[in-house]
Structure 1
């Protein structure tokens, strides 16, 4: 009795798909056993009866075993009426579950289960360009896109996981599996004015850092007076989009035609890697001119400047001395 109650509890707590499959297999075993005892000459072993039942309900019908008695054929009719219905329901359930899961995936309602992913917050042209570029990398980069405005996954066929929702909410960030993320990129909400967009970004930084303090967080900030708030919230790196745009426009005003050159320069270094690297011990005390020559000749690295603590020196004087703990701003080919 206890075994029966335990089995019943397991059955009713199982998914519908498992329940249907359990009923179908039970019918196959029961009817196969009946045929074995009703017609032992036709079905010499229990396995022969179960085999016939399975072949019958699956509508394959090999014809190697066929009941010959009236009672045997009545049992076969009952099996076909009952068993085939459950088998059909089973496959229909599989199709339904697959279709439902696909719709949930497209609509951004499924949680991400992977690890080492880059979480990108917000959908705009900058996000699109970033994702397009990341998808060309080898090995493939795992990407999770979070946005509240999109109706469905714009990259469903390219392996990008989409989560629909407000990234300032803990439950949305947790659906992106923030604990396993390697990096978070937060872009400014283009549907809001600049101040409101920056406030949204700061709130998102707080939500992300509150759930995983050590995750590397890059944030796009539009207004200069929100830079301090973004840093206090925990942003590891801040991208000042408006500052970059202003730089390009000012250069075009003062020197006509520089915009195409700047864009071509960015395109040229797109396939390279701009990074910070420690100055080799042998070059401590050397001049910037010597360092650039040495790194270009031996490391194939183009040195653009020096980062010393919180200060950055781009294209410093050739006599600029390299000190211990200086970082080289380099383009690595």
Structure 2
């Protein structure tokens, strides 16, 4: 065998090499038995059939060697070929099991596209993943985390990658180049400043590999918000600020937490939408709200520049650059 062919053969996966050797043995002995006993084995196909049945230890007995030389070939085939065939099936089974184990343990690269990437494993990422799976997105979810030992979800649409999100190798396993959206959650096992720094580091790595990916980042401290903005965050969620606002409302009235959380829960993308103000320029906030109510929507605020104004006082006139914050009961609004 030429050296380059031998090197190419050695580089093949083990079960491929064993399969090739087993097939060579089967075809060789099939042709040899046809040459030795042409009266019994009337065609090469019958010889190959006999060789396969022999090495697989099935032994139908429909066609067997009659001569001493033919029987010797059969004995040699059993000693030589059966071992390779058995080894092939054992290797194939162990390779399959190892592949499945590697997938569960987050060692296998994801090869799809237009997927959601969620960084960090905690209660928030669990809830987010479950909501994506139940939504109409129909997109796979890639979960990146260092602390998990295996995929916490049994759903085939969730692919687990074990590793740190600021390392290129981990992001490449998640096929970050083809990712649609990325959600980076804060690590609750670290102090708030360190958790924010890790989130910003992951954001920089992700944006460096895929500048077009939409990144939503959870921040715990106000002082790191400008750094997250400079790092390229498309959306910044200040979870501590949201929690503090809910708690403050609870100070002014009892039993306020449940309705407030329920209200936030309904802002799931299909209900909370942004509307252009082009059709409502020059109209008051109240008149605009009346028109939207007739469409089955509710206007509850205006985004004007960097300011968000909820339920502005009358009279509040809609301007060209305003963005309407609308709750809609239809998904197509």
Aligned partner of 1:287 among 284, 288, 292:
284
**Contact kept in structure 2, 1:120 and 1:127, CA below 8 Å:** yes
Residue 173 of structure 1 aligns to a residue whose secondary structure is helix
Residue 135 of structure 1 aligns to a residue whose secondary structure is helix
Residue 134 of structure 2 aligns to a residue whose secondary structure is coil
Residue by residue, what CA displacement relative to the aligned partner does 1:266-293 show, whole Å, maximum 9, x if unpaired? 34555843122323x4323222222222
* Aligned residue number for residue 125 of structure 1: 123
Distance 1:250 1:92 in 2: 64
CA shift at 1:250, angstroms?
0.5
* Aligned residue number for residue 317 of structure 1: 313
**Contact kept in structure 2, 1:198 and 1:223, CA below 8 Å:** yes
TM-score calculated relative to the size of structure 2 = 0.93
Residue 115 of structure 1 aligns to a residue whose secondary structure is coil
* Aligned residue number for residue 300 of structure 2: 304
User: 1:60 and 1:137, CA in 2 relative to 1: closer, same or farther beyond 3 A?
Assistant: farther
* Aligned residue number for residue 232 of structure 1: 230
Aligned partner of 2:55 among 43, 57, 61:
57
Distance 1:269 1:195 in 2: 28
CA shift at 1:32, angstroms?
0.2
Distance 1:316 1:229 in 2: 31
CA shift at 1:53, angstroms?
1.0
Residue 40 of structure 1 aligns to a residue whose secondary structure is coil
Residue 86 of structure 2 aligns to a residue whose secondary structure is helix
My pick for the range that moved more, 35-44 or 46-55, is: 46-55
My pick for the range that moved more, 157-166 or 30-39, is: 157-166
Structure 2 unaligned spans of 5+ = none
CA shift at 1:318, angstroms?
4.8
CA shift at 1:8, angstroms?
2.3
My pick for the range that moved more, 50-59 or 205-214, is: 50-59
* Aligned residue number for residue 110 of structure 1: 108
Residue by residue, what CA displacement relative to the aligned partner does 1:138-196 show, whole Å, maximum 9, x if unpaired? 35221111111112111144431111112122222222111010111111110111111
User: 1:58 and 1:296, CA in 2 relative to 1: closer, same or farther beyond 3 A?
Assistant: farther
TM-score calculated relative to the size of structure 1 = 0.93
Distance 1:193 1:318 in 2: 44
Residue 131 of structure 2 aligns to a residue whose secondary structure is helix
User: 1:257 and 1:54, CA in 2 relative to 1: closer, same or farther beyond 3 A?
Assistant: same
* Aligned residue number for residue 201 of structure 1: 199
Distance 1:14 1:209 in 2: 36
Structure 1 unaligned spans of 5+ = none
CA shift at 1:251, angstroms?
0.6
* Aligned residue number for residue 7 of structure 1: 5
